Amino acid sequence: MKFVEFVGIGPGPFAAMLLSDLGAEVIRIDRISASGNGIARPVEFDFAARGRSNIALDLKDPAAIELVLDLIAQADGLVEGFRPGVMERLGLGPDVCLERNPALAYGRLTGWGQTGPLAMTAGHDLTYLALTGVLNAIGRPGQAPVAPINLVGDFAGGSLFLVIGLLAAVHSARLSGQGQVVDSAIVDGVNLLALPLAGLIGAGIHDGARGENLLDGGAPHYDSYICADGRYLAIAPIEGKFRRELLTGLGFDPDGFPDVGDKRNWPEARRLLAARIAERSRDDWAVVFAESDACAAPVLDFDEAAAHSHAQARAAYVDVGGHRQPAPAPRFSHTPPDLPTPPQARGAGYDALSSWGISRARISQLQAVGAKG
């Protein structure tokens, strides 16, 4: 597959990276100069830019627009993450692109979507979570909601849903010849991710305030506890058979331990668990529960996670340009992806245009314009 990516921030590049990781050829259309958006860092640490060629274009130049349309004519899909109307003003809106390539999957990724009263306003992961109700559900009782980094909104609710939508649209186009616009809004994705929780609320299982329920740290058997060395052990034995194994490993009599199926027993169960876990170090408990069904695990930092035996056995991390990064996922038995290439600096990938049928003379002209940026 071939995709054209218009360089943006956060979830758009991550979606394009996922496509590239899985074997798609993705070419990045970058600005001549930096936009000033996002979190600035050296290009080598912009890990989500890995695996793609970068060309810098002045999209106010008609020659650059014509080049982009020539690329789009050969592409299976497109990824853009600008505010609604920006691509149209550039002359690269869905109508123009689908006229050039009727089978194109035109992927649009925004926080609020292409329509609605907030469509034209700025936002970030935390504000999208705030308006879906999800943020209100994360945190400790009586305290402010906790910002869960930007994984839930940007990358789960945004990037992953865009990739799913694009692949579905490409498949549909190959069957019907008809392309379409994929409107991926982070708020829509987060809403859908919360569907199982909505079911628990409807069933009366998740019926307390923030931090007072089974899966939000309210339950004593679904939380993290401090150990003797100041580090943490996470426990999550939701099912009774796994709780018995945890309690046995902790040195309790499962039959005499407070029944956590009754919320009235939660405070006492938490007190007992906290006191017992605090008696030993995190790594001591990790040995006790290694390869058990107790659903207990040491809370690792990123360096420890990369060194863990399970990550090592699965080659979960790869070296890309001298930097350790998570390996592409998921795994494929017949078509494993190649090792990703390092992120390219702005305008460093013009040579990739050759494989898209762009002449050497035309490439040289584009490079000359890019060098002036």
Please give the positions annotated as active site. Answer: 124, 154
Identity of the amino acid at 15:
A
For residue 299, the Cα-to-chain-centroid distance in whole angstroms is 21
337 DSSP assignment: P
How large is the angle between the packed helices 161-176 and 11-21, nearest 10 degrees? 60
CB distance 46 to 58 below 8 Å: no
Give me 168's structure tokens: 């579905």
Q: What secondary structure does DSSP assign to 202-226, as a single string?
A: HTTSS-SSTT-STTTT-STTSEEEE
Dihedral (CA of 371, 24, 77, 121) sign: negative
Q: Using CA atoms, how far apart are residues 295 and 273, in angstroms rounded to an integer?
A: 14
Alpha helices in 50-155 (DSSP H): 62-74, 86-90, 94-100, 125-132
